Structure 1
């Protein structure tokens, strides 16, 4: 394996310029496929300047321009603006090497620079893993979405994030889209019901929608349907993100089928889940196999070192987290359990349930259907939720009696009589104030909810009829308009769910109370304007309690979150005991939250239904609570998957947070450092170059450019080719903020954060009026594409600088078979005696900034007159390129050896897995796993470096008056 190919300059590599169909294109990446080499390019010529394309070398003639034959041309622009822009754009378009350990853009967005999040990003990008694959298993509230955004931003900057698919639950589609755009300037199209409808209007039914949109967010419920499977099989991705990935563990489900398909067709895979395992090693192994099929032994055994390599797991009180979150995550208050004495009518219902249904005498339960032990507890659960929920449950059972079931008519008549008697008692509770409801109203008022108050509370309940009952009655009893109380449940359309969540985050929105079911218990951020949560009924599941609490108890919560549980307390002794058991669940969740950051391991069932079954047995007197819910200490000392997690990731064994390297500040290296001090200066220069007068309105050939340095904003009217890049963003955002008419950008992080916060504080939508101009912003990419078109075919600018003799600035890149940049080198070739072009001195530089500084190009320079004698200077290009190629063979050897060693180590590990599998080859389930491992081997081999490219970027002559040049 070597980069010394005889036709090295003819090789296709990122950064090279090619001619296809008589147009010039910049190569972004290459890919080897069964149908030949695919070259992904960006147009440079006037006709294709804003066009991305892919060409198969078997179908089109893709002719690389030989860098050694480049022609030198003079830059006559003021202060060398044209050359500066072209060179800066080239630097920005050159991918950061895939093995670079420093962060380049992850901490330059609007996410707070938290060391524990950055350590997760570094782990995902660790070059030892060859492919970025990771399970983000941080506990609820630590900011997994931000970690996802940071990882994706780094992948984009490394040339590994052109095509990205994000799969999430329906109700967080907009939240994910919002976070990635507002904090990292990554635009994604949101394929919710409205987005899919727009796609159907634009595309023919036979067109694969995933070839039309390069970056998309879609719900797992939509994507797993059969109609998309064929399209997904044909589509390769640079990165796939699957949120709430614990739903993938069951190998027999459509979710798992989808995940396996996506895992095979993507290079980077990011899974995220606060509950990453269900206690069964085989299910957790299924998740690990998605990331790396060889990371689980052929017999299914989990290897702790592999889990540690592929999984990130911290919680609120992990040392790495606790030492950095500070006041940005206020500590949760003690659980506030409120026992509410039942009314006389409610006590009568409780007594009837106890004596007739839950603990009947010799006659047994009147229930005439199957599972006679379950339905009485369904009634009890409904009663503890609300009279409305009990009414619905009774009426539902009565409507089914004698219709859907075959049974003893006598028993059915007895059950009907018992249900009607219970319904009559419950009717009285509906005709007078409910004790728990009355207490809820008082509690909401005590929290400050009312006219003229900004206070907000989220109220959770399990039963839909309870939600509807609260939604109908609360506005009047709180003295609020109807729209101040919003209801959210799984039966609402995805866009309606997203609208409600976004409104609850807006300070100016009228909503004050969000009444929601458990559809909002996963993934939704409700802490921005709220720190009060009420369990109107208590789930019989620690997992569900933790999920609910995590909506307000998360990073960014400035006020100590308070969780209140309302518990109806009947005089019936048995029912009173049940209430106290439920109250203990809330306390147990709080204890596990503080000590483990993981409540699921206490009961060991790892799913809501399994926990509910256990709690039902406790309530029925079949089991003791202490036998069902393990102590925290016992979890860490066990021998199950939970214990493995405790030993690998939890506080007792956790290592201190890694400090940044000596040469790297906490925010990461500025790997894009070039000729401009900041992004806005670069953008302003690009507009000056592209338009005669950028401050003029579009009607007079400008873009209406305005810069307010004091206010920290700039404005422009986007031209059509820029508008096209923004159209994937939400139509409501584009319309409300008039983005396509007048784009306002914040030029500092402080200003960007202030406008983002102000959107929630002052406006009706959370999308800011001034979007932060971060390094990956589409407007900067647009400016770079325009600047790169400034040079003609295979030309190099000649400029003056602080050199003693003509000097060529060169960029060398080493790439692998997947077209990814493995290493870069900045060189200058000096010709002390121009009459003898064979005499030259090669100097390597540690960065683009260092090379530019050596040339006197680290600041803007005056351009007195265009450089002369261009023909003589052009003769220096070829020897400079050839000498640089020879010089780089030695420089790149170390990078080549390092990459080769990683590939060899990885291949050896795959071969060991194969050898182990041979022993178990009779097992049919190994066939699919072996196929995945073979695919892994092919991918690993494609990571081997195989080509070198040297490009001349600038010809610099001495800046002396009266000189030859």
Structure 2
């Protein structure tokens, strides 16, 4: 044996490399990691026997009595070569690769870029891994988090993992990505699974103690009872996706925001490794960003909630698409997005019933908008704005909504008048739901359905109130006919106008033009409304296109969504029509670079979530985004101008924050929006084209005063972001860990890992199982083969007892070679 005592020489200290067996304090250990610092070296050791089996400690060899164990080789006692090779491979697989090499797990169906390995490099350089992955939309944060997780698991630093994300498609995407690319089967924690665990374990057990690889939604975990159970467990790794949902808003936040923040605080304190993922780490307020950093390390923030210096920079990774370049050629990796507005001019002679429908609807709604503006009760009539938005989506969406409003109106008129308390509670709930949607841009299918339900009920109740006033002659209605008759007339007009729908015709024409140039091109279409989705799908199928659908909630199961996504990602010649509830987190870019917006979204987050489905890492062609809008409607006069602002902001800063209402009150924003709609009443379907494009000209040219004020407000909000980007240059221009040298070093570390880890895993697993009495069906060279484990799998506990883990009579494991 070679003893290393006291302040060892540099040569002797170098003997202590990962994999070396040593004795320390009278017990056997193995070196799993070495880390150099200014005045010496730090070692991480793992116990090999007795009371320290499996335990890990960090030591400084300069002040500890460490003995490196050297085993003598006896040629007279040589074993079987096959067994030696098997044990040798097992020994190599046990070793840590050290700080200068990566295990470099290769995810399925994806060519890794060096920039995606930068978080892994940062992780293995940290004694306690706490990272904020703040890359822009589409750079592959999920894959990067998976690579960090795989590296930590390979180094035996992670066994218990919890992934937290918003509910819906994003949760499904995480589960699919982790299983398909990294072989991790995550248990979804929800009410059903926790009850199932409780039935399988002893009474009073914490279900989270039995969920070692788990995934759960933020909204499930934030419940009081569930939070209590999380406070009594711990995880090696916690990953929180869309972490901006968990910023500390202080007194400005709603109760849901406070619960999400409390959940984040609990998880941050109950884990060793914490990964926060968000494309929008800074909302214009330094306090919000500081609250994210506080989750990583409370010492980064002072008692007033402000950041202490720039120490936070070592915890943050921020790259935008313009930062990503090939380390070998220095060329940009991401193709440029092309934006194409498509103006739909409505010919009054060709579409007379559609024009009459639009004018009649505005005649019904405009007086109520004016009354709300005079009374300064803007939230009272925002549901009418939702009705107008449906009218510029498709006629079918408008007709369906009008029919529901008519039915509920009749019911409301025939019953007792709604109490002020009930109306106030409904408006408060609706206002909170809209603000959440404004902030996050997307909602689950259930939340979208709840909002639509409340909006329809609100319209019906308001119209019923007007009808009662008219009947009691307390107020003169400025309509030629009663409200019920007006609604019936609108429903009839909508039914007659469906064959004249200009949006449906425009979608079919756009797809025809795309296919004329690219005969087998896949095309993605987004709409806010399921009714519009249905009618678009029917029209395209009637014209012979092969069409897939994707929607959230109970209308479509997770298996159906996965199958549709898989087809769209692997086959040519498809059209997919999606709703916004299915927008977040999906990868639809493998075979598609054309996206059509059926209507213009009002929310910038929603806009980017849609566009990010095809404009993301792995896209080989220039993404082409088409914005359809009806000429001479509020969609062109208001929404197109807003989108021009957003697209210019994206071109300037490479990302679009949620800016609406940052400096103005929601009431002021609503007033300007409603007044802008009223101002278009006399110019409906005017043929004069705007003087600006999405990237050139002034969007305020030709706008009425209210719209100009709205655009000025957005400019002020963008100004706040640009100021934040100047103060924190890492947000846009500079980035953090974004330099090409860091990416090049990550690539070199991956190559070193590939060089030092050349063991072919499937043959090794088969040899190990066969040696212990198992069997194999098929051949190791087959794409998929089965192995049957030996009769008993056991482990030796720390006290020396042998514990049987399971006795599998016919347990099968399928390995993909």
Quick check: which one's helix share is greater? 2
1:596 corresponds to which residue?
A: 653
**C-alpha deviation, 1:533, in angstroms:** 1.8
Counterparts of 1:569-588 in structure 2, within 5 Å, are 569-570=631-632, 575=633, 578-588=635-645
1:435 lines up with 2:497 in the alignment = no
Match of 2:139 in 1: 142
Q: Which of 377, 402, 405 is 2:385 aligned to?
A: 377
Call closer, same or farther: CA 1:187–1:463 in 2, change over 3 Å: closer
State how far apart, in whole Å, the 2-side matches of 1:500 and 1:383 are. 32
Equivalent-residue separation in structure 1 for 2:138 and 2:775 (angstroms): 46
Counterparts of 2:531 and 2:665, CA distance in 1: 21
SS at match of 1:669: helix
Q: CA deviation at 1:499?
A: 3.4
Distance 1:72 1:430, change over 3 A: farther
Residue in 2 that maps onto 1:357: 365
Of 700, 703, 717, the residue aligned with 2:776 is 703
CA contact under 8 A between 2:163 and 2:240: conserved in structure 1? Answer: yes
Q: Which residue of 2 aligns with 1:752?
A: none
1:667 to 743, 750, 753: 750
Q: CA deviation at 1:144?
A: 0.4
1:112-143 superposed Cα distances (whole Å, 9 cap, x missing partner): 3322222233234433xx32111111111101
User: Do the aligned residues in 2 keep the contact of 1:319 with 1:651 (CA within 8 Å)?
Assistant: no
**Superposition RMSD on alpha carbons, in Å?**
4.6
Q: Which residue of 1 aligns with 2:162?
A: 165
* Inter-partner Cα distance in structure 2 for 1:155 and 1:607: 46
The correspondence of residues 747-762 of structure 1 with structure 2, limited to 5 A, is none
Q: Secondary structure at the match of 2:342?
A: strand
Per-residue CA deviation, residues 844-890 of structure 1 (Å, 9 max, x unaligned), is xxxxxxxxxxxxxxxxxxxxxxxxxxxxxxxxxxxxxxxxxxxxxxx
Instruction: Write out aligned runs for 1:365-404 (5 A).
Output: 371-394=379-402, 395-396=404-405, 398=409, 399-400=411-412, 403-404=417-418
C-alpha separation in 2, matches of 1:422 and 1:722: 74
Deviations 1:624-650 (A, max 9, x none): 154133399956752xx45444x2232
- Give 1:400 shift: 4.6
Give the Å deviation of 1:493.
6.8
1:215-294 equivalences under 5 Å are 215-250=213-248, 252-294=257-299
C-alpha change, 1:547 and 1:490, in structure 2 (3 Å) is same
Question: Does residue 16 of the first structure (1) align with residue 47 of the second (2)?
Answer: yes
Contact 1:173 1:498 in 2 (8 A): no
Superposed counterparts of 1:427-506, under 5 Å: 427-431=492-496, 432-433=498-499, 434-448=501-515, 455-471=521-537, 473-474=538-539, 476-479=541-544, 484-492=547-555, 495=558, 498-499=561-562, 502-506=565-569
Query: Is the Cα contact below 8 Å between 1:543 and 1:608 reproduced in 2?
Result: no
Aligned to 1:728: none
RCO comparison, higher one (Cα < 8 Å, 6+): 1
- 1:424 corresponds to: 489
CA apart distance, 1:486: 2.1
| Residues 528, 557 of structure 1: 8 Å contact kept | yes
Structure 2 partner of 1:308: 313
Per-residue deviation, 1:683:
4.1
TM-score (norm 1): 0.60
2:40 is aligned to none
The residue number in structure 2 matching 1:622 is 706
Distance 1:78 1:636, change over 3 A: same
SS at 2:49's partner residue?
A: strand
Distance 2:665 2:197 in 1: 36
Q: Find the aligned partners of 1:197 and 1:167 in 2 and give their Cα distance.
A: 19
2:110 is the counterpart of 1:28: no
Number of aligned residue pairs: give it. 662
What is the CA distance between 1:267 and its match in structure 2? Answer: 0.8
Displacement after TM superposition at 1:89 (Å): 1.8
The alpha carbon displacement at 1:664 in A equals 7.5
Structure 2 unmatched runs, 5+ = 9-21, 31-44, 59-67, 250-256, 421-464, 472-476, 678-704, 795-809
Residues 538, 565 of structure 1: 8 Å contact kept? yes
Tell me which residue corresponds to 1:78: 80
Distance in 1, matches of 2:562 and 2:91, equals 41
Hey, what does 1:531 align to over in structure 2?
593
- Is the counterpart of residue 122 in structure 1 residue 121 in structure 2? yes
Superposed CA deviations along residues 403-450 of structure 1, whole A, max 9, x for unmatched, are: 43556765466499346425523532322311112222333344449x
- Counterpart position of 1:211: 209
- Give the C-alpha shift of residue 704 in structure 1: 3.2
Aligned 8 A contact 2:467 2:482 in 1 = no
User: Is the partner of 1:538 in helix, strand or coil?
Assistant: coil
Distance 1:318 1:555 in 2: 13
Evaluate the alpha carbon distance shift between residue 412 and residue 500 of structure 1 in structure 2; reply closer, same or farther with a 3 A threshold.
farther
> Which one has the largest radius of gyration?
1
Q: What do residues 145-186 of structure 1 show as CA deviations (whole Å, max 9, x unaligned)? A: 111011111211232211111112332333223322333334
Q: Does 1:88 align with 2:89?
A: yes
Gaps of 5+ in 1: 21-25, 33-65, 692-700, 725-738, 747-965
The answer (yes or no) to whether the contact 1:723–1:740 under 8 Å persists in 2 is: no
Shift of 1:263: 0.6
What SS class does the counterpart of residue 531 from structure 1 fall into?
Answer: strand
Say whether the 8 Å CA contact 1:602–1:631 is kept in structure 2. no
Match of 1:605 among 652, 659, 662: 662
Separation in structure 2 between the aligned mates of residue 12 and residue 517 of structure 1, nearest angstrom: 56
CA change 1:353–1:683 in 2 (3 A) is: same
Distance 1:243 1:661 in 2: 27
Check conservation: 1:263, 1:269, Cα contact below 8 A.
yes
Partner of 1:745: 816
Where does residue 832 of structure 1 map in the other structure? none
How far did 1:84 drift? 3.5
Query: What is the rounded CA distance, in whole Å, between the counterparts of 1:545 and 1:162 in structure 2?
Result: 38
What is the Cα deviation at residue 11 of structure 1?
6.9
Q: Tell me the residue number matched to 2:112.
A: 113
Q: Equivalent of 2:789, from 705, 716, 719? A: 719
Q: Deviations over 1:325-350 (max 9, x none)?
A: 97974432232434242632232233
- Taking structure 1 as reference, are residues 607 and 72 closer, same or farther at Cα in structure 2, changes over 3 Å only? farther
CA–CA distance in structure 2, aligned partners of residues 665 and 250 of structure 1: 39
Secondary structure, counterpart of 1:341 in structure 2: coil
TM-score, structure 2 as length reference: 0.69
**Pairing partner for 1:649 from 725, 728, 731:** 731
Distance 1:606 1:516 in 2: 33
